[in-house]
A and B are shown apart, each in its own frame.
Chain A
Amino acid sequence: MNESQSTVTNDVILKVEDLHKSYGDNHVLRGVSLQMQRGETKVIIGPSGTGKSTLLRCINQLSVPDQGRVWLGDKEITSHHENINSIRAEIGFVFQSFNLFTHLNALANVRIGPMKVKGMKKKAATTLAMEELERVGLSDKADAYPAELSGGQQQRVSIARALAMFPQLMLFDEPTSALDPELIGEVLEVMVSLANDGMTMLVVSHEMGFARSVSDEIIFMESGGILEQGPAEDFFTSPKEQRTREFLSKITELYGD
């Protein structure tokens, strides 16, 4: 897709090896493995309940996998030797329900990470926060509280909040699924610009247009495992598996892409 990708050095940011996770009797993740290089954008698609969100949460250990290993760069997240908090500071996570801190305004939301996790001084953190808000197009809303912002604005602030930590990797858990249709665009716009700036992004989404235009690879998950994966263009034009084709046709019916 992007010419520059093929010349990038072998710089593996994320490596996931054989992840398993069950909730009670429900074996949600059945041996998932994947890898991401610096600057890549990958989109995970698939039917609901197939473990896509669980996969993301297992990467930064918000859910602890039952089995399998995860590396960020050369640090093994799943080993007990690593401090999970410092690992999480390197991974940005964007939630479907935004989860902005309701008692803080937009600016405070963005700068609390640098201040309280990285120990930055208030003045420097404020400057940084304003920059990130600028980057997502919301510098004029710095004083607004989450309840005063629209869904799209809240999500953009939450992206800024994640960016302020200068993460190596960003995880997006259905970032636009909770948004009204007319607000989806502004968030996708930000995500596209992030991808173009070279951020390493793993996105779970139903937004096929986004997936098609920006991702390096599409991953199709079903029943807790990766059924098919491949470069975006090939994936959409000639999917290999029957189930993939069924899913895609259903989606294009609904979303029209």
Chain B
Amino acid sequence: MVRHAFPSLTFGRYTSSMSTIWQSLELLIVKGLPTTILLTLGLLGTGVLLGFPIAFAQVYGYRPLRWLCRGYEQLFRGIPALVLILILHSGLARSFNILLPAFTSALIALGLRSSAYQSQIFRGAIQSVSQGQMMAARALGMSKIRAIRYIILPQAFRLSIPPWTNEYSSVLKDTSLASAIGVLELTKQGTLIFTRIQFVMGVKYILVILILVAFVYLVLTYIGNAALGFLENQLRIPGFEMKGKVER
């Protein structure tokens, strides 16, 4: 079975350890990486789609609505991501016979979590656009909606990029938790590889595999941050300093 699952790892005593490592890296990248990337993007997207309306409702909505949103936010910030994943996968499957594919369970669970955090980001950004901007827009005769659309949101968008870069990093790392329910993302692949490899190469190679996995994550983090940094620069308003520190 090992032969079939890991054809490149069936080696005799003659294969050098270097090539094993190379093959492991290859396996990680070919099998694990796409899943991780897909999951990350899916989570970010879900987070925006759910998080933005919630942020909007929290800033401009009526009090009961605001109260609800705050509750949503508290809920998903108080429960560990792992527990959420288990609820949506094992919980639904065993108690209600709703068998979601592991990827979907992870997507929903972590997506809900990300939306709670992202709603905070957007809410903060909208609220930090100064009151004077709204006043000036209304003074010109813009309706509240138009003012929000043309004056507040463009500025809030720019202000939310630095904390959102942070969220990208969080989400990327969260995807590793999907390994708990068997999603074949980077960490799970790595675990599978080192579990096999310890019999072939010796237990000391576990660390090597794990370092490889860590390395891939670092590269992904770097690329994502660079891309978002580029976006931030493209949208930069000359002379306008963003409030708050940029968290790496």
Contacts and interface: CB of A to CB of B under 8 A. Distances in A.
Asked whether the complex places CB atoms of A and B closer than 8 A, the reply is yes
Interface of A: 60, 62, 85-93, 95, 97, 99-103, 112-113, 116-117, 145-148, 158, 161-162, 165
Contacts of A148: 238-239
B158 interface: yes
A95 B154 contact: no
Contact of A103 (B130, B139, B154): B154
B96 interface: no
Given A103-B158, A145-B239, A145-B240, A116 B142 contact: yes
Given A145-B237, A147-B240, A101 B151 contact: yes
Contacts of B77: none
A113 B240 CA distance: 22
Given A85-B143, A116-B146, A117-B142, A147 B136 contact: no
B139 to A, nearest CB: 4
30 contacts: A62-B135, A62-B138, A85-B141, A85-B142, A85-B143, A88-B139, A88-B140, A89-B140, A90-B141, A93-B136, A99-B136, A100-B136, A102-B133, A102-B155, A103-B154, A103-B155, A113-B141, A113-B142, A116-B146, A117-B140, A117-B141, A145-B239, A145-B240, A147-B238, A147-B239, A147-B241, A148-B239, A158-B136, A162-B139, A165-B140
B237 A102 contact: yes
Interface string B210-240: 0000000000000000000000000001111
Contacts of A100: 136
A161 B139 CA distance: 11
Contacts of B151: 101, 103
Contact of A147 (B132, B137, B237): B237
Q: Of residues B139, B143, B238, B240, which shows the largest number of chain A Cβ atoms within 10 Å of its Cβ?
A: B139
Interface in B114-147: 130, 132-133, 135-143, 146
Nearest to B156: A103
Contacts of B132: 95, 97, 99
Q: Of residues B133, B136, B154, which shows the largest number of chain A Cβ atoms within 10 Å of its Cβ?
A: B136
A146 B133 CA distance: 12
A177 to B, nearest CB: 14
B133 A116 contact: no
Interface string B28-43: 0000000000000000
A101 B133 contact: yes
A99 to B, nearest CB: 4
B157 to A, nearest CB: 9
Contacts of B133: 99, 101-102
A147 B138 CA distance: 22
Contacts of A99: 130, 132-133, 135-136
Contacts of B140: 88-89, 112-113, 117, 161-162, 165
Contacts of A90: 141
A97 B132 CA distance: 8
Contacts of B154: 103
Nearest to A92: B139
